[in-house]
Amino acid sequence: MSEVAAPVIKEAQYSPLGLKAFTDEIKNTSLGELLLDYPTVYIIYKKNKKDMYDVYVGETNNIRQRTTQHLLEDPKTRSDWDAFRADKSTKMIVIGHDRFNKSLTLDIENKMMLYMSGVSSVGNLNNRRENDQNKYFTENDRDDIFSKVWRKLRKLDNRLFPLEQIIRDSALFKASPFHKLTQEQFDAKNLVQDRITKVLLAGEEDQLILVQGEAGSGKTVLLSTIFYQMFQYSKSKDHSQFSDLKMNLIVNHDEQLKVYKDILIKLGITDSKDQDTVSKATRFINNHDSKNKVDIVLVDEAHLLWTQGKQAYRGKNQLDDIMARSKVTVAIFDPKQVLKTEEYLEETDIENIRNRSKSQGNFIELKNQLRVQADNQTIDWIRAITDSRRQILPFHADSKRYDLKVFDDAAEMYRQIKQKNADQENSGISRLVATFDWKYTQNKRKDGKYWMVNAGNLSLPWNLQLKAERSIEKLAWPEQSQTIDEIGSTYTIQGFDLNYCGVIIGPSVTYRDGRVQFDPEKSKNKNATRQRSLANGEKVVVSDELLANELNVLLTRGVNGLYIYAVDDALRNKLFEIFSAK
């Protein structure tokens, strides 16, 4: 980092007089040329009535001219700019650097938007452009410069600019549409958008775009980006053909649903009263019909859609019913994350879904692992436990230093997870999770005690029983500080990640006859162990597949490390045998 110079940051009052004072102060100094004549990134911000920040992020080649436009012209057509100017506490931060050029400032602006979308104290993010750049001369300096900028901004206001690691741990950050996409994601995004454009312009319908990828392959960021950019198209004068675009986003997961709603509210796309733009599948199906189809429906975690009737849903297959109400359906899908009997798909059903999208030229597969920061051999070791091999493979030291440990003491694993979680600057959010092998209901126990996970010498409550402080109760489960003292399950952690994940493998997972096996009798997960009716009417038990999927979800949460404690003696002994031989 030392090779790149420190950025120049100046703060000023956001007003005509403030702009004049800012200009007069620096115009005859060494900073004048850098900030007044060269490209800069700037932030305009104020606190609103809820003690949250309203923020605008921009970049310009002429800060004086651009600020004058914001002060004099923009308030005539936009209420947010009028509010910025009317509030005497509004401030402006101007950021300069000797390596800034147009592409770099656009990329810094985009990354600043990414970070602002993950700051819990930011209520409204006014600039909603997406300016992710491709290749340019100084692109290798971007992250270095940005970190130096952020550290300086923290000195101005550490509530608006918290530690980078805290932001990166935010569920809003992780699902933000401002991430710089990998080449695989970028190609997939372009393919999806091209197909949507062609289909809608041609007046076609009944299109299924299926994006398949395993846990941690970047599916959620891809979907978030597609939704956001299609929304931008609908508001752009350059894409007037999409001005009346009707678009919905569906996810059958309470925690992820909350994240998407919060992102769209922060970006000003929806408000807290909007229950339709982002919803669960049943609400969408019940509120729409095939006679008035939505243009685009994007479905995250499509493997969580129901394939049988349940509660308020009276149909037989939610994906089919969604497609009947949409011209184009974009579904994110991973058959290895199907967890409940009501989500179960027979292999022929999965093939039919794939073949339908393939026949329309709409099948996309994401193969890269973006969450688990380990080499391919380590990832294969994790996958082998739950895939068709069901084996504990020989283990090797990961060249990327992925921290994979096994424990014979669950309390010690918990102690180390707490230690990692406490180091917010270097490690970040870390939690314990477990297979669903201990009794739990949403109703409190009659004796007033918690439902507990008891594993070895460790006993902790689990699944959202500890009460959160009011200021953080709307955050996702991993971000609520009290959850370090309870244990999560697939119902709290699916769709999210942790920096270090401690997994308690309960008694339903055993090691017998040289293979990992799943015992439904020892599981408390009725959603996975009850019978399921097949298409031919036959009732079958599919717990072997669903319990394996449950463990797969838990083992793939850790970004930098995975800690494992197995209740079953034979499984725990086998893990120690493998690790002692590495």
* Element of type H or E holding 503: strand 498-505
Q: 162, 197, 217: which is the final residue of a domain? A: 162
In a domain, 138, yes or no: yes
- Shared domain for 400 and 491, answered yes or no, is yes
CA–CA separation, 467 and 461 (whole Å): 11
Strand order in the sheet with 558-566: 403-407, 558-566, 498-505, 430-434, 487-488
Q: Which of these, 543, 548, 522, 508, lies nearest to 391 by C-alpha position? A: 548
- Shared domain for 312 and 434, answered yes or no, is no
| pTM: predicted TM-score of the whole model, two decimal places | 0.90
So what's the pLDDT on residue 109? 95
CA–CA separation, 237 and 243 (whole Å): 8
- Shared domain for 152 and 214, answered yes or no, is no
So what's the pLDDT on residue 112? 96
Bridge partners of 565, per DSSP, are: 407, 504
- Shared domain for 188 and 291, answered yes or no, is yes
Q: 366, 398, 428: which is the final residue of a domain? A: 366
In a domain, 1, yes or no: no
User: Helices 543-555 and 376-386, interaxial angle, to 10°?
Assistant: 150
In a domain, 175, yes or no: no
CA–CA separation, 319 and 297 (whole Å): 11
* Element of type H or E holding 284: helix 281-287
CA–CA separation, 94 and 270 (whole Å): 30
In a domain, 19, yes or no: yes
So what's the pLDDT on residue 1? 44
- Shared domain for 76 and 190, answered yes or no, is no
In a domain, 317, yes or no: yes
- Shared domain for 282 and 347, answered yes or no, is yes
The contacts of residue 382 (CB under 8 Å, 6+ apart) are 372, 374, 555, 556, 562
Which parts of 506-550 are beta strand (E)? 509-512, 515-518, 531-533, 539-541
Q: 322, 346, 366: which is the final residue of a domain? A: 366
Number of domains the chain contains:
3
**Residue ranges for the chain with pLDDT beneath 50:** 1
The contacts of residue 531 (CB under 8 Å, 6+ apart) are 341, 539, 540, 541
- Shared domain for 380 and 358, answered yes or no, is no
CATH label of the domain that carries residue 298: 3.40.50.300
- Shared domain for 193 and 136, answered yes or no, is no
Cβ pair 499, 420 in contact under 8 A: yes
Q: Which of these, 404, 402, 464, lies nearest to 433 by C-alpha position? A: 464
In a domain, 3, yes or no: no
Residue range(s) defining the domain that contains residue 69: 8-162
In a domain, 333, yes or no: yes
- The 10s digit of each residue's pLDDT in 128-181 is 565 555 666 677 889 999 999 999 999 999 999 999 999 999 999 999 999 989
- Shared domain for 355 and 389, answered yes or no, is no
- Shared domain for 482 and 549, answered yes or no, is yes
User: Helices 219-235 and 183-201, interaxial angle, to 10°?
Assistant: 40
So what's the pLDDT on residue 401? 77
Q: φ and ψ at 559, to 5 degrees?
A: -75, -50
- Shared domain for 36 and 56, answered yes or no, is yes
- The 10s digit of each residue's pLDDT in 331-363 is 999 999 999 999 999 999 999 999 999 999 999
- Shared domain for 26 and 116, answered yes or no, is yes
Owner of token pair 């931060």? 93
In a domain, 435, yes or no: yes
So what's the pLDDT on residue 136? 62
